[in-house]
Structure 1
Amino acid sequence: MLNEPLNQCCFAAISLICKDMWSDLNNKVILVTGTGAGIGNALVKQLASVGATVIAVARNEEQLKELASHDTKRILTLQVDLTSWQGVRQALSTVPQLDGLVNNAGVAIIKPFEELTEQDFDTHFDVNIKAVFNVTQALLPKLRNGSSIVNVSSIAATRSFAGHTAYSATKAALDSLTRSLALELGARNIRVNTVNPTVVLTKMGRDNWSDPAKSGPLLAHIPLQRFCEVHEVVDAIGYLLSNKSSFVNGHHINLEGGYAVS
């Protein structure tokens, strides 16, 4: 009982920080890739709800229409196939000046190493790393002084998981690209960081990890004994986009419930 007032103060302080973080993004212009579903979709809706103008990039036209219907004023959509180098360049040439960029689009083809095909390999690298390179380079002239770039990576960048050989290689490359860009773009006052979650409970994540025989061994190594929720990734991205992280550059925020210390 003696700790209850202290706990209430802590929760109040955390709530105030989160509120300030999101309010800091009011009137900002942010581009997000991979917005058809999951993390990207939830992030766009959250950013629009706090007054940001969001350019939502995805390949699926119907998903973009559904997303735009949530806020026709603040959610602008751009249908792009990120595997097309010139297509990306052409589409992004119409984008206005930006305060933030979130490279969220990604693919994961989970197979044993010996079953991975050349197409599987190319698909991973085309979307998970080449597209990030292309989008970021194409948008660099559009990024304002003080902008923030957030790349959505994974703890698979530094940890090994069965069936993730190609996926893990691309996320390790993404983390390396992030550090290099943090160094090169820092002089322009542009920060570059990643969020690195474990399994995220999107619809796909729930479907893929619903079998206790599969999820149990991984959960046994997570002290919090659960996987990451979508809103927890969204909050971490919001922090890195906001001025609350103004001196955070070239870092990887692990969202893994203590997996690394187990």
Structure 2
Amino acid sequence: MKNIIVTGTSRGIGYELALKFANAGHQVLAISRKTPRILIENKNITCLPVDLSNEADLDKVQDFLSTTWKKVDAIVHNAGSFMLKPFSETEQKDFEDIYKVNVFAVANLTRICLPFLQKGSHVVTISSMGGIQGSLKFAGLAAYSSSKGAVITLSELLAEEYKERGISFNVLALGAVQTEMLEEAFPGYQAPIKANEMADYIFDFTLTGNKYYNGKVLQVSSTNP
């Protein structure tokens, strides 16, 4: 059984994913600002209330890893911050707020986990089709989609930097999935894939994808949106 960190577990894909790993017998560190009771009650899940936009708050993760787990087999960077706003109305702070969660938190949490990652560990970052060069883009998502492009490049660089240690870094760029975030972006739109269905795919990829990929970006999209 593996030790797996999942961020953004208060709802949607992250919530479903934490439960799937735990119910399969893996130990899960669920990181989110809000913690659903069903996760707290699962014996295989440790819930840490962490504000990923606050670097100092990540000290809780380092303390837990140092005293309890000692090793990390996989990380799923699933947490995401979203904003729909015309570019002309945005300010620097809008971009900073989005990047703190979608980019800086990914870098900071990965850095904290590095001493606990080992040969065979798999770091999976959940990006978006909006971050893929040449993909269909949507007005009002300048901060969000550009941040999702940034973590793609970050993962490619980390895969190269840590390949000698046998740590794999891959990205899943998701298309439309029926989540609260999708509803915020496209009110009334019904995606063909539900959160629990996408969680099934990410579950399998996290456990086995590093056998076949490193430094890769997989486009997991049937529609966009």
Unaligned runs of 5+ in 1: 1-26, 220-225
Q: Find 1:236's aligned residue among 201, 204, 215.
A: 201
Contact 1:227 1:256 in 2 (8 A): no
Matches within 5 A, 1:10-21: none
In structure 2, the residue matched to 1:92 is: 62
Q: Which has the higher contact order (CA 8 A, sep 6+)?
A: 2
Tell me how many residue pairs correspond in the alignment: 218
Alpha-carbon distance in 2 for matches of 1:244, 1:123:
31
What are the superposed Cα offsets for residues 85-125 of structure 1, whole Å, 9 maximum, x if unpaired? 22213432322211101111111101111112232111111
For residue 242 of structure 1, give the secondary structure of its aligned residue in structure 2: helix
What are the superposed Cα offsets for residues 5-41 of structure 1, whole Å, 9 maximum, x if unpaired? xxxxxxxxxxxxxxxxxxxxxx111011111111110
Matches within 5 A, 1:106-125: 106-125=80-99
For residue 123 of structure 2, give the secondary structure of its aligned residue in structure 1: strand
Unaligned runs of 5+ in 2: none
In structure 1, the residue matched to 2:218 is: 253
What are the superposed Cα offsets for residues 184-208 of structure 1, whole Å, 9 maximum, x if unpaired? 1111111111111112201342465
Larger Rg: 1
Q: Find 1:173's aligned residue among 150, 166, 175.
A: 150
Would the alpha carbon gap of residues 122 and 201 (structure 1) be closer, same or farther in structure 2, given more than 3 Å must change? same
The one-letter amino acid of 1:187's match is E
Matches within 5 A, 1:1-262: 27-60=1-34, 63-69=35-41, 71=42, 73-95=43-65, 96=69, 97-158=71-132, 159=135, 160-206=137-183, 208-211=185-188, 215=189, 226-243=191-208, 245-257=210-222
Alpha-carbon distance in 2 for matches of 1:189, 1:29:
17
TM-score, normalised relative to structure 1: 0.77
TM-score, normalised relative to structure 2: 0.89
Contact 1:148 1:190 in 2 (8 A): yes
Alpha-carbon distance in 1 for matches of 2:184, 2:155:
30
What are the superposed Cα offsets for residues 53-105 of structure 1, whole Å, 9 maximum, x if unpaired? 10000112xx2444222x1x101111111122222134323222111011111
Alpha-carbon distance in 2 for matches of 1:252, 1:244:
11
For residue 153 of structure 1, give the secondary structure of its aligned residue in structure 2: strand
Give aligned-pair identity as a percent: 32
Cα RMSD for the two superposed structures: 2.0
Contact 1:83 1:126 in 2 (8 A): yes
Would the alpha carbon gap of residues 124 and 163 (structure 1) be closer, same or farther in structure 2, given more than 3 Å must change? same
> Alpha-carbon deviation of 1:43?
0.2
Contact 1:43 1:234 in 2 (8 A): yes
Would the alpha carbon gap of residues 108 and 193 (structure 1) be closer, same or farther in structure 2, given more than 3 Å must change? same
